[in-house]
Homo-oligomer: A and B are copies of this chain.
């Protein structure tokens, strides 16, 4: 009997290592030809499943699949598309099952964050109710590191390494310039609700290599007076300082700091970019010259400086997802379980999706210093093994990495019925 096929999709914001998990899913499935037929990927995530736009990964060479291990972005396309609730749009879920049934798909691997975990959970429930059981396994992925239960989320550690390294390099720059020019460098990083990425900026400073760094977390209401006093004190002491600011920092009234009442020539409110707001505040109130940078996509796509630990995690969760499904697991998320900080030891586990979906993990209170502007030793012990180790992609003669480009050949449609996602 021909084994059933598997479906794999990438969801939400990409990471430097989401393709590592894709690589692991495909390579692990290949090692079990008696259990899993082909691996079909959704073109642009779950949208590809809804529209029956599937990619036949078996048409790629082994080398191309292996190269996913060092390739950023989402090789099959991702999407920002949240399925509605079952009550609101049951037709979406029924369509998924219809497509899976048509293509003899028995495993559903969904590679994403919170919203995706919720989708994965619903698919697992509904498929059973509809008499077409699918083993639905969620593969964690998010630079935000805000999934519960798992010790960390693949993708986060590489963003953290990028932010720690960039903060160090830029701090060396501003330190060099501070005698006669710029005194403060402001660096905006991602994190709408949780300060995990901003926390990584603190790793640029160690006891052997002290760097004055002030961190603004979304978890800590912004106190302008305390912040400016701190910046002033650091500059007085060191001659310069760096500020790492989460995009999601809010004032005590809950208003985003980035929404600072700036308007354009037409009177429209100007949103976006908390770094220039902070930089202007420092210059305006303290008279200190500033420079500012916004990392945006660079922090989640910098595969060239990915964390080796992260790459290992991302591969392990993809492989484990396939193994769990083969063992009959369903409605689970693969987790990373830490057993020791130093030397770092971890293993793979799993957790029921009902414990995961729609829950956000913020920074623990004991990871942020009492003044709200730094990270504690507990946070350092957590972060240290995550950002350790490099995993360089191969570079070509053109001076840039040899990132994989797949053919992404379509699977022939069977239903061929229109569906508007």
Contacts and interface: CB of A to CB of B under 8 A. Distances in A.
A265 B265 CA distance: 12
Contact of A72 (B71, B172, B260, B279): B172
A300 B173 contact: yes
A388 B397 contact: yes
A50 to B, nearest CB: 11
Interface of A: 10, 13-14, 43-45, 47, 71-74, 77-81, 161, 164-166, 168-170, 172-177, 179-181, 185, 203-204, 206, 209, 260-265, 270, 272-273, 275-276, 279-280, 291-298, 300-305, 307, 384, 386-390, 392, 395, 397-401, 403, 405
A166 to B, nearest CB: 5
Nearest to A206: B398
A79 B388 CA distance: 34
A166 B209 CA distance: 27
A22 to B, nearest CB: 12
Given A262-B262, A272-B276, A389-B395, 12 more contacts: A10-B176, A14-B173, A80-B180, A81-B180, A168-B401, A169-B297, A173-B301, A174-B297, A261-B265, A270-B280, A273-B273, A390-B395
Contact of A164 (B302, B399, B403): B399
A155 to B, nearest CB: 12
Copies in the complex: 2
A384 B399 contact: yes
Given A276-B272, A303-B169, A399-B389, A175 B265 contact: no
A161 B398 CA distance: 10
A172 B76 CA distance: 11
The CB with the most chain B CB atoms within 10 A, among A10, A180, A280, A307, is that of A180
A293 B297 contact: yes
Contact of A170 (B43, B203, B301): B301
B264 A400 contact: no
Contacts of A280: 264, 270
Contacts of A276: 270, 272-273, 276
Contact of A294 (B168, B294, B301): B294
B399 A44 contact: no
14 contacts: A14-B172, A73-B172, A77-B179, A79-B180, A80-B177, A80-B180, A164-B399, A168-B401, A170-B301, A209-B403, A262-B263, A270-B276, A293-B298, A384-B398
Contacts of A181: 79-80
A203 B399 contact: yes
Nearest to A270: B262
A174 B14 CA distance: 9
Given A262-B265, A263-B262, A297 B170 contact: yes
Given A175-B73, A179-B44, A398-B206, A169 B296 contact: no
Contacts of A307: 399
The CB with the most chain B CB atoms within 10 A, among A176, A204, A262, is that of A176
Contacts of A166: 298, 302
